[in-house]
Amino acid sequence: MRHLIDGYNLMYALGLSGKRHGPDGFRKLRTRFLNDLAAALGPVASHQTTVVFDASDPPCHLPHQSLHKGMTVVFAVNDESADERIERLIAAHSSPKLLTVVSSDQRIRQAATRRKARAVTAEVFWQELDRLKSRSKAPPPAPMTAEEEARMHGLSADEAVDWLEAFRHVADMPEAREVFDRGESLLTEDDIARIRREVDDEFE
């Protein structure tokens, strides 16, 4: 477990109050909240997340602990409150320094801090998720142009054959044969450097 979240605390911080919805409407609101949370976390982080809710109105069709899109969802039925269950989970965690506890309740954040866990308020946590989502939606880089592809990968096999065919007659020229026989280059180092600069300028 990497994230331990006070479920109703986070819902209320997001303005998801159930007062105007009635019991059935509130259960739907809670499900929508869990869907949005799982989407924001992503599949990997979701499987490392536990969300704890108070048990005053647990869904009758769900067990007290279940999975929702990878997240572990707990209704604190056998505890006085979600706070008590969260504190027990913090105390029992084997690697608390790797744990992020999400709640605006000072009591819970103090319990997390005592075990060296990271404690963040509900508002700060959701802002962090928003920033992560924004970065994941950044536009992909523009595709390379044909010139950039050529510079990156060089000549293809077919292109190399075409160039060899186009300049094959050069090797048969008397002047070229004389130079080749002496083991000399047709181009000086300065000539080669100048040609490279011209090629680079052509593709920029």
Q: Quick check: 189 pLDDT over 90?
A: no
Specify the pLDDT at position 56. Answer: 65
Which of the pair, 1 or 6, is modelled with greater confidence? 6
Instruction: Over range 111-131, report the average pLDDT.
Output: 93
**Which is it for strands 71-75 and 65-68: parallel, antiparallel or unpaired?**
antiparallel
Do the domain assignments include residue 141?
A: no
Percent of residues, the chain, with pLDDT higher than 70: 60
72 plus 151 within the same structural domain: no
pLDDT confidence of 194, banded at 50, 70, 90? confident
Which DSSP symbol is given to 115?
T
Total domains in the fold of the chain? 2
Q: Letter for the amino acid at 150? A: A
Specify the pLDDT at position 120. Answer: 96
Specify the pLDDT at position 181. Answer: 62
**Which is it for strands 100-102 and 49-53: parallel, antiparallel or unpaired?**
unpaired
186 plus 87 within the same structural domain: no
81 plus 150 within the same structural domain: no
pLDDT confidence of 163, banded at 50, 70, 90? low
Q: Quick check: 178 pLDDT over 60?
A: yes
Report the DSSP beta bridge partners of residue 52: 6, 74
155 plus 111 within the same structural domain: no
Q: Quick check: 169 pLDDT over 90?
A: no
24 plus 125 within the same structural domain: yes
CB 84 within 8 A of CB 74: no
Do the domain assignments include residue 67?
A: yes
Specify the pLDDT at position 62. Answer: 66
Do the domain assignments include residue 19?
A: yes
Please give the order of strands across the beta sheet that includes 118-120: 65-68, 71-75, 49-53, 3-6, 100-102, 118-120
130 plus 161 within the same structural domain: no
For the chain, give the mean pLDDT. Answer: 80
Q: Letter for the amino acid at 22? A: G
69 plus 155 within the same structural domain: no
Instruction: List all residues 6 or more positions away from 79 whose beta carbon is below 8 Å from its beta carbon.
Output: 55, 85, 88
Please choose, from the candidates 180, 38, 30, 54, the residue with its C-alpha nearest in 3D space to the C-alpha of residue 108: 54
pTM over 0.75: no
Task: Residue 8: give the domain boundaries.
Answer: 3-136
Q: How far apart are CA 98 and CA 115, in angstroms?
A: 10
Which letter, b or e, does each residue of 87-98 get, where b requires 16 or more Cβ atoms within 10 Å of its Cβ? bebbeebeebee
Do the domain assignments include residue 27?
A: yes
Least confident of 27-31, 41-45, 112-116: 27-31
Q: Quick check: 74 pLDDT over 80?
A: yes
Q: Quick check: 147 pLDDT over 90?
A: no
